[in-house]
Structure 1
Amino acid sequence: MTTSPTTAVLIPCLNEEVTIRKVVEDFRRELPEAKIYVYDNRSTDRTSAEAAAAGAIVRFSPERGKGNVLRRMLRDIDVDRYVLVDGDDTYPAEDVHKLLSTLDEGWDMVVGDRLSSTYFTENKRPFHNTGNRLVRFSISKAFHADIRDVMTGYRAFNRLFAKSYAVLSDGFEIETEMTIHALDHKMRVTEVPVQYRDRPAGSESKLSTFSDGFKVLRLIFRLNYQNRPVPFFGGLGLIMGLAGLGLALWVCILFWQTGQVQRFPTLIGATMLMLFGIISWFTGLILQVTAHHSRERFAFESNIFLSTVDSTYGVTGASDLNKSGESAPESAAQH
């Protein structure tokens, strides 16, 4: 007997009184069997009352910041499929079927791509457009990924992603961290185009273009040296080493011309730069080994986790087999 996968819609909220009722009602219409959770992040308006009146399960997260809210959500809620969406009514609920149907094909996370549809025409904040392009370029180069919309707030993911993801960020940089976590741990990630619309009148964004943008760039910088240590420290070491070598050659040329070492401070500085370059390179190699062992442990623990979950959801090919009334073969479950 085949059972349908359980689904939860996660809506973190802060002062979304104007829009939250419509968001909850739209998702209740599109996903009548799903549980809809609204986590109120210390709102000062009627967000909680409006969400409860629309039929959502309302809970409270006292620590300010979207990352703090998501951390609490993933600890509290245990289902097969998770849908994360903002409470500002910028993402149409109708697109959730595209996200979930793609997730059901065996992906670990499906990203709702705004940038391929209406984002650049609907969004009225030009610096946000520039920031999205910059973040996408940085992550694509660092992690060799072709994810177009890294910072979207509309995405679906399975239980494996939800329970293996240690939320470290506190604020709006959380979406970038989610994407990098999935890419770095070789999880199955794809994206589907979704529509985007600007906030309705009376609804105000909590996103600060410059301060939150700086946090995102700082996060990318940190995750680069943590997860890609050889390119980061190796590149830094190469720059210092070449600079030191160039200065040393200049001093040697002067010595060859005059027969005297005329610039001892420059020679000492060049030697130190070359030493720092070598140290930086070996630091990257050591950290690369550590990062590799961390990924191996993650893969091992993920396999253990999946073996303890009493469900075939997320097993590649299992959904097709279940439709015909057959059980998933042992070989399919191992992949």
Structure 2
Amino acid sequence: MSTQRAERATDDGFTFDDLAVVMGTYNEADAIGTVLSDIADVTDGRAEVVCVDGSSDRTPEIAREHGATVIEQEPRGYGVAVREAVLTPDRPVIVTTDCDDTYPMERLPDFLAEVNDGADVVSGDRLYYGADEMPGMNKLGNELFALLASVLMGERVHDTTTGMRAYRREVVRKIEWTENTGLSAELLMRPLMREYDVRERPIEYDERRGETKLDPLSGGAAIAKSIVRVAFEERFR
């Protein structure tokens, strides 16, 4: 990422001083240091970083060593951790990411620029470029989740379960978040169905470090159920 592009992205409106990058962490000692170093490099160390952690390895210690705020929490699932992470910061722009080094932190200036352009939610579309590093079954599942959500909402979306999104803080504070495994889909669907300015933007997706924690069958069924539930709740709200 060039310095010129970073400066152009933050010239007006919100800057990195207004940004919080948040994530749920669970036994990600192999990757968390790289992710936090990338965030610090891209934002010149100005972004706040919040990790909600339920690890039994060195993940929280590594996160603190990199200057992150760590909120320790008993493991209760992805959505519980991420919901806590999203609602914790007081900064006006919040970016969610995963801690497995799959998401491109160099795109943070671009996401911030979209918010400065008026977006309420900016969602990273991993599937646009093919997501070649994603396991085949995961890719198929994500494509089917997006198709299901699109049909139920009546509006095309391409990646409902991406972990990298930017939100204006007032958006996440106004909506009651209810899902756990399906929180990623809910965080996209509810703002979209409430007519916030939601934009999907292509992002690169890399191979994860460490082992996945989500069972593909039970996790996939839970996400599909969440998509149906959220769509009907919003449709008849």
After TM superposition, the score normalised by the length of structure 2 is 0.89
1:187 partner SS: coil
What does 1:183-202 correspond to in 2, within 5 Å? 183-200=192-209
Give the match for residue 114 of structure 1. 126
Aligned partner of 1:222: which letter?
Answer: R
Aligned partner of 2:137: which letter?
Answer: F
**Residue 88 of structure 2: which of 76, 81, 90 is its match?**
76
Pairing 1:174–2:187 present: no
Work out whether residues 38 and 56 of structure 1, in 8 Å CA contact, stay in contact via their aligned partners in 2: yes
Rg comparison, structure with higher value: 1
List alignment gaps of at least 5 residues for structure 1.
229-287, 292-335
Describe the shift of the 1:52–1:80 C-alpha distance in structure 2 as closer, same or farther (beyond 3 A).
Answer: same
1:122 partner SS: coil
In structure 2, how many angstroms separate the alpha carbons of the residues matched to 1:109 and 1:187? 8
Q: Give the superposed CA RMSD.
A: 1.6
Q: Indicate the percent of aligned positions where both proteins have the same amino acid.
A: 29
**Residue 224 of structure 1: which of 221, 225, 231 is its match?**
231
Give the drift of 1:92.
1.8
Greater RCO, CA 8 A, separation 6+: 2
Give the match for residue 258 of structure 1. none
Aligned partner of 1:213: which letter?
Answer: G
Work out whether residues 37 and 59 of structure 1, in 8 Å CA contact, stay in contact via their aligned partners in 2: yes
2:55 partner SS: coil
2:205 partner SS: coil
**Deviation above 3 Å: which 4+ runs of structure 1?**
2-5
List alignment gaps of at least 5 residues for structure 2.
1-11
Structure having the higher helix fraction is 1
Give the drift of 1:62.
2.1
In structure 2, how many angstroms separate the alpha carbons of the residues matched to 1:3 and 1:103? 9
Structure 1 residues 92-126: Cα deviation after superposition (integer angstroms, max 9, x where no partner): 2111111111121111100011101241x111x22
Give the drift of 1:63.
4.5
Structure having the higher strand fraction is 2
Describe the shift of the 1:206–1:63 C-alpha distance in structure 2 as closer, same or farther (beyond 3 A).
Answer: closer
Give the match for residue 112 of structure 2. 100
Pairing 1:143–2:156 present: no
Give the match for residue 130 of structure 1. 140
Give the match for residue 47 of structure 1. 59
1:150 partner SS: coil
Structure 1 residues 218-263: Cα deviation after superposition (integer angstroms, max 9, x where no partner): 11222233233xxxxxxxxxxxxxxxxxxxxxxxxxxxxxxxxxxx
**Residue 222 of structure 2: which of 215, 224, 229 is its match?**
215
In structure 2, how many angstroms separate the alpha carbons of the residues matched to 1:54 and 1:69? 20
**Residue 87 of structure 1: which of 94, 99, 109 is its match?**
99
1:129 partner SS: helix
What does 1:1-335 correspond to in 2, within 5 Å? 4-5=14-15, 6-31=18-43, 32-40=45-53, 42-119=54-131, 121-123=132-134, 125-171=135-181, 173-200=182-209, 203-228=210-235, 288=236, 291=237
Give the drift of 1:4.
4.6
Give the match for residue 307 of structure 1. none
In structure 2, how many angstroms separate the alpha carbons of the residues matched to 1:33 and 1:118? 32
Describe the shift of the 1:105–1:18 C-alpha distance in structure 2 as closer, same or farther (beyond 3 A).
Answer: same
